């Protein structure tokens, strides 16, 4: 089964979903009092919540590295590895490996995000031994057989060709190029039509050797398993991995300073606009203030952008803006789609609203309502073992304390109006990096060309 990295997913859904997940917490009654820091007999550490409500176990884990470790000129290596680890390993070929997964209803997947190589494992409690065995084989003895490699390569290239006519994909790619230039963050995680054909089995084996190691491993487990049993499973699965990764250093980078605007011509009736600029790092003291005020600006159907762009002007069906942070940089980023002949008006409306927020900040009423929503929404955010495991893993990657869930609402409450105004100016006073994908302005007033049908 092929799996694309975040770089290959639609920017409008992937980035905002990640940003929402990373800052929401589980209800204290469900998680906070039960989170354990488990250390296996072999020294493998995990954050663990034992929950016997249903006979399921969910594990999320990550190794430092991700798409930023793809060799120069060969972007997409990590994505190819993620798509091939379960295509045969140990003494099992691809068909047999997947048959064993399906027979036991085991869900196993991998992905290469910008900074991490991530994995997910879900199983029924009774199938835990087989599930962890299959994961261990995938991580330690993948085949990378020629037939499987070429099949996955063909699927990746097919997706990349489709992206050449998809305005959202083109806007995502161009925005990252504008924001980060030739830095690894400016490259596409799933590769390009030029880079993917150049990827060799040796590149993928070298990626596994350099990235999949114990020193950067972070694990979160939620489900019906006791600590002693889980410790043994972790040792069996991860204990044989190399002790240390061999990662290529990734430089700190500040996104390109606004304002800048880029246009990508594409003959489609709806124009896509992606906008953003330098953001705020996760451990910046002003982060929570930024998160709260960002919700006011672009965080949902009550946000200023939504009201101005959709409700008042009817320019777009939806518009969002969110914070995105990485290990070496940060962005704020937004997206909308509009009718081709109203693209200019839409961009003007977005810029005006963002400029107003930078100059005036939010009102006390807006701040109070945003804080109330953000505190209350956590009660519904993580209603499954998998969602809780994903959040606990992300808290580790963000280097947050194990009791963050308990502290999070107090951090939201502590944001003052002065804090919000200060960080609004910091984020949005410079203007925007804007990428517009669609028909040229002179053609926007004309209907899109319709190809003739032949019988």
Higher pLDDT, 31 or 380: 380
Q: What is the mean pLDDT of residues 291-298?
A: 97
Cα 11 from Cα 167, distance rounded (Å) = 11
Residue 237 banded pLDDT, cuts 50, 70, 90: very high
Contact between 438 and 340 (Cβ < 8 Å)? yes
Burial of 141 (0-12, 13-18, 19+ CB in 10 A): middle
Strand ranges, E, within 114-232? 116-124, 218-223
Torsion of CA 397, 432, 16, 305, to 10 degrees: 140
28 pLDDT above the threshold of 60 = no
Cα-trace Rg, the chain: 23
- Average pLDDT for residues 378-400, to the nearest whole number? 87
Query: Which fold, 26-168+179-238?
Result: Cytochrome Bc1 Complex; Chain A, domain 1 (3.30.830)
- The pLDDT value given to residue 6: 34
Q: Is the pLDDT of residue 276 over 80?
A: yes
Q: What is the mean pLDDT of residues 424-441?
A: 93
Regarding beta strands 45-50 and 36-39, do their DSSP bridges make them parallel or antiparallel, or are they unpaired?
Answer: antiparallel
pLDDT category of residue 301 using cuts at 50, 70 and 90: confident
Residues of the chain with CATH 3.30.830.10: 26-168+179-238, 260-388+402-440
261 forms beta bridges with: 434
How far is the C-alpha of 131 from the C-alpha of 100, rounded, in Å? 9
> Which residues, including other chains, have CB under 8 Å from residue 442's CB and lie 6 or more apart?
none
Does the bond joining 247 to the residue before it have cis omega, within 30 degrees of 0? no
What letter does residue 54 receive in the DSSP assignment? S
Query: What residues are paired with 274 via a beta bridge?
Result: 335, 435
Better pLDDT: 448 or 162? 162
Q: Which residue has the higher pLDDT, 213 or 21?
A: 213
Banded model confidence at residue 379, pLDDT cuts 50, 70, 90: low
pLDDT confidence of residue 49: 96
The 3-state DSSP class for residue 377 equals: helix
As assigned by CATH, the class of the 260-388+402-440 domain is alpha beta
Structure confidence at residue 451 (pLDDT) = 36
Three-class SS of residue 338?
strand
User: What pLDDT sits at residue 384?
Assistant: 86
Order of strands across the sheet that contains 316-325: 260-265, 433-438, 270-278, 330-339, 316-325
195-236 residue pLDDT tens: 999 999 999 999 999 999 999 999 999 999 999 999 999 999
Residues 350 and 64: their CA atoms lie apart, in Å, by 36
Instruction: Express each pLDDT in 77-108 by its tens digit.
Output: 999 999 999 999 999 999 999 999 999 999 99
Question: Is the pLDDT score of 452 beyond 90?
Answer: no
Q: Report the pLDDT averaged over residues 411-422.
A: 97
**CA 16, CA 335: separation in Å to the nearest integer?**
10
Structure tokens at 217: 């491993």
Distance CA 424, CA 61 (A): 34
**pLDDT at 5 > cutoff 50:** no
What is the 8-class DSSP label of residue 241? S
pLDDT of residue 22: 39
The pLDDT mean for the chain works out to 89
C-alpha angle 330-189-291 in degrees, rounded to nearest 5: 25
Q: Round to whole Å and give the CA distance between 417 and 397.
A: 30
For residues 321-326, average pLDDT: 96
Instruction: Work out the average pLDDT over 339-362.
Output: 95
3-class SS of residue 16: helix
């Amino acid at each position: 089964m092929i799996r694309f990295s975040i770089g290959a997913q639609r920017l409008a859904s992937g980035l905002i979903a990640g940003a929402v997940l990373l800052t929401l917490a589980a209800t204290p009654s469900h998680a906070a009092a039960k989170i354990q820091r488990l250390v296996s007999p072999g020294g493998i550490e995990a954050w663990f919540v034992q929950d016997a409500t249903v006979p399921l176990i969910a594990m999320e884990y990550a190794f430092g590295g991700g798409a930023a470790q793809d060799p120069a000129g060969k972007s997409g290596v990590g994505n190819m590895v993620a798509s091939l680890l379960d295509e045969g390993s140990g003494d099992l070929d691809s068909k047999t490996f997947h048959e064993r997964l399906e027979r036991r209803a085991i869900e196993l997947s991998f992905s290469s995000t910008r900074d991490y190589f991530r994995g997910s494992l879900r199983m029924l409690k009774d199938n835990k031994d087989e599930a962890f065995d299959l994961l261990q084989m995938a991580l330690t003895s993948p085949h990378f057989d020629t037939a499987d490699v070429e099949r996955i390569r063909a699927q990746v290239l097919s997706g990349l060709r489709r992206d050449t006519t998809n305005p959202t994909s083109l806007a995502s790619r161009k925005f990252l190029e504008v924001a980060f230039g030739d830095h690894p963050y400016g490259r596409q995680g799933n590769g390009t039509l030029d880079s993917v054909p150049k990827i060799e089995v040796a590149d993928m084996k070298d990626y596994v050797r350099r990235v999949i190691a114990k020193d950067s491993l972070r694990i979160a487990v939620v489900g019906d398993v006791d600590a002693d049993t889980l410790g043994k499973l972790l040792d069996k699965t991860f204990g044989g991995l190399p002790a240390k990764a061999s990662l290529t250093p990734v430089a700190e980078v500040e996104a390109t300073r606004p304002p800048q605007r880029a246009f990508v011509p594409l003959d489609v009736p709806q124009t896509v606009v992606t906008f953003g600029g330098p953001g705020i790092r996760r451990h910046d003291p002003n982060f929570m203030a930024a998160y709260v005020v960002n919700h006011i600006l672009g965080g949902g159907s009550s946000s200023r952008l939504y009201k101005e762009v959709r409700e008042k002007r009817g320019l777009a069906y939806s518009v969002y803006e969110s914070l995105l942070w990485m290990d070496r940089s940060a962005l704020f980023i937004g997206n909308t789609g509009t009718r081709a002949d109203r693209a200019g008006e839409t961009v003007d409306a977005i810029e005006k609203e963002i400029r107003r927020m930078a100059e005036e900040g939010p009102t006390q009423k807006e701040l109070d309502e945003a804080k109330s929503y953000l505190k209350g929404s956590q009660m519904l955010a993580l209603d499954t073992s998998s969602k809780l495991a994903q959040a606990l893993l992300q808290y580790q990657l963000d280097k947050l304390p194990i009791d963050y869930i308990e502290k999070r609402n107090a951090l939201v409450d502590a944001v003052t109006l002065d804090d919000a105004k200060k960080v609004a100016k910091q984020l949005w006073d410079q203007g925007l990096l804007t990428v517009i994908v669609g028909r040229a302005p002179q053609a926007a007033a004309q209907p899109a060309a319709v190809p003739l049908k032949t019988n």
